[in-house]
Copies of this chain bind each other. A is one copy, B any other.
């Protein structure tokens, strides 16, 4: 292995180390609680060193979000391959997102409620990203249900939005009304899914 290769590898490893430390701080302390100086101290380098590996604070956040969406995408594909029934697949996929949010509110908040990391709808669709891929796979799952005649004839995009809206809602409530859904968030989530399903079915 050549020297330049070795260096490139070390650089990559260092980038990873920065990213992992950054994610920890972002999740624990939130977007505002995160600071470049805090991260620098954690990794034992000067604050400006970070700028050699990431453009700025938001670039760090973007990289972290992409890794999360890669994770979501993998899970959606797993569910899809395991469960052959489209309705069952949608149920599981939908519950996966809500459950992730309820179990990891800080992560969910960071990814979805911090900044418009991926810009407008158009900007999200324009350039390739894990977030974009995740969106399309989820849309396909919904489309499969429609194609199987299991849902009311509502535009697929409207249904997708409706579902993500509800997921965001459960988690937002859980995050911003401190302890509001405590001991009850699961019940509210299940009630909501139950109600939604009754309302969406043909």
Interface residues of A (CB under 8 A from B): 32, 112-113, 116, 119-124, 154, 157-159, 161-162, 164-170, 172-173, 176-182, 184, 187-188, 191-192, 194-200
A138 CB, min distance to chain B CBs, angstroms: 13
CA distance A199 to B168 in the complex (A): 19
How many subunits of this chain does the assembly comprise?
2
CA distance A196 to B154 in the complex (A): 14
A156 CB, min distance to chain B CBs, angstroms: 12
Chain B residues, CB < 8 A from A194: 199
CA distance A178 to B164 in the complex (A): 14
Q: 8 other contacts beyond A116-B177, A122-B179, A165-B173, with CB at 8 A cut-off?
A: A116-B178, A119-B178, A121-B177, A158-B188, A164-B177, A166-B192, A172-B172, A195-B199
CA distance A161 to B194 in the complex (A): 14
- Quick one: which of B165, B177, B181 contacts A188, CB cutoff 8 A? B165
A121 CB, min distance to chain B CBs, angstroms: 5
Chain B residues, CB < 8 A from A162: 188, 191-192, 195
A45 CB, min distance to chain B CBs, angstroms: 27
- Quick one: which of B113, B157, B158 contacts A172, CB cutoff 8 A? B113
Q: Is B192 within 8 A of A195, CB to CB?
A: no
